[in-house]
């Protein structure tokens, strides 16, 4: 990314970026850029679903009819034809709209699950899928705590469908399509470090408006997408029982132990076999 693009993107982070003390600036090198993400402020969302439309257009998916509000009657989930959905929830503070898509975890379960590296965490943060590597085992679907990867069950050549945070647009220094189409600034694109600052500032400035939690700050080790809300996240269809451990950590000990077994067990077995031989001779 060139400097101009960087400035343009960083500008999105707005006031908080300026307010940030200079010493907190990360020693970010071109080799290890910090992850980008999106802050979703559900108190600002008006449920217009312009993001659903722009997402489908940007990725050549069937464009949903956003005039039809009947779709909001039931809680929907993403599908193999729709990478993101907006749901309506009746809560203690009235109706709230919540956008749902891939969370772009910092340490994604799906990429740790993938045996062909078809699921890939890019350096900028988007988790993307390579069609030429995937063998269609669906282990990513089993592993993802948010149940985001979707599979085309009715195709002889099925693809995994999921939000890629408009990876291809980011390459062109453009914001994700959904963020660009949002008329109320409910979506904000930026570096997670900056987005966290903005989110905290909003909570401190309006302590009665928001619940004092930023969903995605620590969930499953931290996610690229962050959420602010006026009501507890359980009321908005979020799972709050996922814990803060990055999912790949659950398999780390096992995979770490594999070479140990491969070093140790053959030697042990050989020893046993030699001992047993001695015994049978004597």
- For residues 282 and 280, what is the distance between their CA atoms, to the nearest angstrom? 6
**Closest CA relative to residue 178, chosen from 6, 1, 10, 57:** 57
Question: Do 245 and 221 meet the contact criterion of CB atoms below 8 Å apart?
Answer: yes
Of residues 141-160, those binding other proteins (CB under 8 A)? 141-143, 145, 147, 150-158
Which DSSP symbol is given to 105? B
- For residues 180 and 244, what is the distance between their CA atoms, to the nearest angstrom? 30
Window contacting other proteins (CB under 8 A); options: 23-31, 77-85, 93-101, 180-188? 77-85
| Residue 20 is a binding residue for other proteins (CB under 8 A) | no
Of residues 208-267, those binding other proteins (CB under 8 A)? 213, 218, 239, 241-244, 247-248, 250-251, 253-255, 258, 261-262, 265-266
| Residue 87 is a binding residue for other proteins (CB under 8 A) | no
Question: Do 79 and 267 meet the contact criterion of CB atoms below 8 Å apart?
Answer: no
- For residues 112 and 115, what is the distance between their CA atoms, to the nearest angstrom? 8
Assign 29 to helix, strand or coil.
strand
| Residue 162 is a binding residue for other proteins (CB under 8 A) | no
| Residue 282 is a binding residue for other proteins (CB under 8 A) | no
Footprint on this chain of other proteins (rule: CB under 8 A): 77, 79-80, 109, 111-118, 132-139, 141-143, 145, 147, 150-158, 213, 218, 239, 241-244, 247-248, 250-251, 253-255, 258, 261-262, 265-266, 269-270, 272-273, 276-277, 279-280
């Amino acid at each position: 990314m060139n400097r101009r693009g960087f400035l343009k993107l960083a500008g999105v982070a707005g006031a908080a970026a300026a307010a940030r003390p200079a010493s907190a600036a990360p020693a970010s090198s071109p080799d290890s850029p910090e992850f980008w993400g999106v802050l979703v402020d559900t108190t600002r969302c008006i449920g217009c679903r312009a993001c659903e439309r722009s997402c489908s257009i940007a990725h050549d998916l069937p464009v949903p009819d956003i005039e039809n509000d009947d779709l909001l009657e039931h809680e929907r989930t993403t599908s193999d034809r729709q990478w993101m959905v907006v749901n309506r929830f009746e809560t203690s503070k009235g109706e709230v709209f919540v956008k749902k898509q891939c969370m772009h975890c910092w340490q994604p379960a799906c990429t740790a699950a993938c045996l062909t590296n078809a699921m890939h965490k890019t350096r900028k943060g988007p988790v993307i899928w390579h069609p030429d590597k995937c063998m269609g085992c669906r282990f990513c679907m089993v592993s993802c705590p948010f149940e985001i990867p979707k599979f085309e069950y009715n195709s002889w050549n099925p693809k995994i469908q999921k939000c890629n945070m408009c990876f291809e647009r980011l390459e062109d220094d453009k914001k994700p399509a959904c963020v660009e189409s949002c008329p109320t600034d409910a979506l904000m694109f930026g570096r997670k470090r900056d987005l966290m600052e903005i989110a905290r500032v909003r909570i401190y400035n309006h302590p009665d408006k928001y619940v004092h939690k930023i969903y995605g700050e620590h969930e499953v080790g931290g996610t690229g997408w962050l959420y602010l809300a006026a009501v507890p996240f359980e009321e908005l269809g979020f799972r709050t029982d996922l814990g803060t451990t990055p999912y790949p950590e659950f398999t780390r000990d096992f995979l770490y132990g594999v070479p140990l077994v491969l070093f140790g067990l053959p030697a042990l077995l050989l020893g046993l076999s030699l001992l047993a031989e001695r015994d049978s001779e004597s």
